[in-house]
Amino acid sequence: MEIKGKIIKLLPLQTGTSARGEWRKQEFIIETQGQYPKQVCLYMWGDAIDNSKLQEGRDVTASIEIESREYNGKYYTNVKAWRLEPLVQAAAQAPVPQMNAQDGPPPAAPFSEPKLADLSGTEDDDLPF
C-alpha cells in the first residue's frame, strides 16, 4: 500500500538494545494531499532510516504496512513505512510539447471522397422518400 504526502515533522530517534542487538526506530508525521489533508504518524526501523533520507518539508510516496495488535482488550495500530521515494509531480513526468512558430500547423489527415450509393431506385429501398 502507498501513501503520498509531505513530511511535516520528525519525532526524536528512539534507540535501544534487545536480545538481537541494538535497534533504532524513527517516527515521522506525513500530511496527505487533497481537499481534506490528514496527518499520519509513520515509523521506520534500522537501515531503512538511513536509506530514506528523512527530511522535513520533503514530498514523498511511502510504501507502508498497517498492523494492529491487541493488548489488554484494546487494539493499537501501527503504520510501518518500509520505503520512501521522492514524490514526482505529474507535470514533471510528462512535459508539454512546445511548438515553434516555424513548425506551422500540424499536417491535415488525408481526405477521401465518400462513395455514392447506387441511385438506380430499387424496390428494396426502405427509405420514406
Residue pLDDT, tens place only, 71-128:
999 999 999 999 999 887 644 555 555 555 555 566 666 655 555 555 555 556 666 6
Beta-sheet strands, E only, within 11-119: 14-18, 21-32, 39-45, 59-71, 74-86
* Residue 79 identity (one-letter amino acid): V
Instruction: Please give the CATH topology (third level) of the domain spanning 2-88.
Output: OB fold (Dihydrolipoamide Acetyltransferase, E2P) (2.40.50)
pLDDT of 91: 43
The pTM of this model reads 0.64
Cell numbers 471522397 correspond to what residue?
Answer: 113
Is the pLDDT at 13 greater than 90? The verdict is yes
Please calculate the CA angle 85-91-96 and round it to the nearest 5 degrees.
145
pLDDT of 50: 85
The dihedrals phi and psi of 47, each to the nearest 5 degrees, come to -65, -25
> How is the chain split into domains, by residue range?
2-88
**How far apart (Å, rounded) are the C-alpha atoms in residues 82 and 47?**
10
